[in-house]
Amino acid sequence: MSAAEVPRLILCGERVKLRTPQFQDADRSYKWFADPEITRYLPLAGRGKLPMDAIREFIVRVSRSDSPELAVSIEAEGEYIGCGGLRNIDCESAELSIIIGEHRFQGRGIAHEAAMLLLGHAFRTLGLKTVWLIVRGDNQRALKLFERLGFVRNQLLLGAVVVDGEPKDKWKMTLSREAFQGIEHRISPATGR
Ligand SMILES: CC(C)(COP(=O)(O)OP(=O)(O)OC[C@H]1O[C@@H](n2cnc3c(N)ncnc32)[C@H](O)[C@@H]1OP(=O)(O)O)[C@@H](O)C(=O)NCCC(=O)NCCS
């Protein structure tokens, strides 16, 4: 049995479980990365769907114990409902990513809880100083989530990407360890506020 077939539990919250990706995730991931509603603000926007081969290669790569990135499958109510992780990890910082692929799990605080688990891992376990991300300027839901998590917009990347012939702006957002500690103590796990 290969490493990709033995999911390791990484982090557990009240409603959310984060584990290593496994081969059984590939079909759902394929569905999400072919869904224009989900990919609308992702780098894949306007460029069709992600091939199944690429999804399987990704699962094998990130399941290796020496993988330089932390990729997680997000589970809620016993189902695989999204994915995310920390990539571009160096000694001080990492990039956060998060996708809730199952529509019925959006808008319920699941992304918030999964992101809090990843941020706790980044700041406490890995001892990083900063977590950053890049988000499309018109991705209102994502901006709202990240600002609620304490991220601040610190660099506007004008016309960073062209989607269907239209230039779109992106924001680089960052969260410091100190700001995360403040947010962590302030918010209620029940409401995320
Ligand atoms: C961006 C994305 C991750 C945001 O997910 P989301 O489901 O909106 O975020 P949450 O799970 O935190 O849900 C937020 C809502 O749940 C509510 N909520 C309920 N219980 C909550 C709790 N315990 N904690 C936090 N929020 C809670 C919030 O009030 C909020 O509602 P509101 O939008 O009406 O204010 C999601 O839309 C997505 O995956 N999109 C496609 C991929 C994508 O664009 N990813 C980002 C790339 S940068």
In a domain, 117, yes or no: yes
pLDDT at 3 over 60: no
Q: Would the pTM count as exceeding 0.85?
A: yes
The DSSP code for 8 is P
In a domain, 115, yes or no: yes
Give the pLDDT of residue 64: 85
In angstroms, what is the span from residue 112 Cα to ligand 1's centroid? Answer: 6
pLDDT tens profile 138-172: 999 999 999 999 999 999 999 999 999 999 999 99
**Of 184 and 75, more confident:** 75
pLDDT at 191 over 70: no
Buried b (16+ CB within 10 A) or exposed e, 18-51: bbbbbeebbebbbebbeeeebbebbeebeeebbe
pLDDT at 7 over 90: no
In angstroms, what is the span from residue 65 Cα to ligand 1's centroid? Answer: 30
Looking at ligand 1, which atom is closest to the CA of residue 187?
24
**CA end-to-end distance (rounded Å), the chain:** 43
pLDDT at 4 over 50: no
Looking at ligand 1, which atom is closest to the CA of residue 111?
11
Return d(Cα 38, Cα 29) in angstroms, integer. 11
Return d(Cα 187, Cα 102) in angstroms, integer. 25
- Over residues 114-132, mean pLDDT: 97
Give the pLDDT of residue 43: 93
Q: Which stretches does DSSP call E strand in the chain?
A: 9-12, 16-19, 70-76, 79-87, 93-100, 130-136, 152-163, 166-176
Q: How many structural domains comprise the chain? A: 1
pLDDT at 2 over 60: no
Instruction: Quote the domain boundaries for residue 147.
Output: 3-186
In a domain, 193, yes or no: no
pLDDT at 5 over 70: no
Beta-carbon contacts of 27 under 8 Å, excluding residues fewer than 6 positions away, are: none
What CATH number did the domain enclosing 174 receive? 3.40.630.30
Give the pLDDT of residue 146: 98
In a domain, 191, yes or no: no
Nearest protein CA to atom 30 of ligand 1, as residue: 107
Give the pLDDT of residue 22: 94
- The residue to mutate among 35, 99, 118, 188, having the most atoms of ligand 1 within 8 angstroms of its beta carbon, is 99
pLDDT tens profile 65-114: 888 899 999 999 999 999 999 999 999 999 999 999 999 999 999 999 99
Pocket lining for ligand 1, CB < 6 angstroms: 38, 41-42, 98-100, 106-112, 133, 135, 139, 141-142, 144-145, 190-192
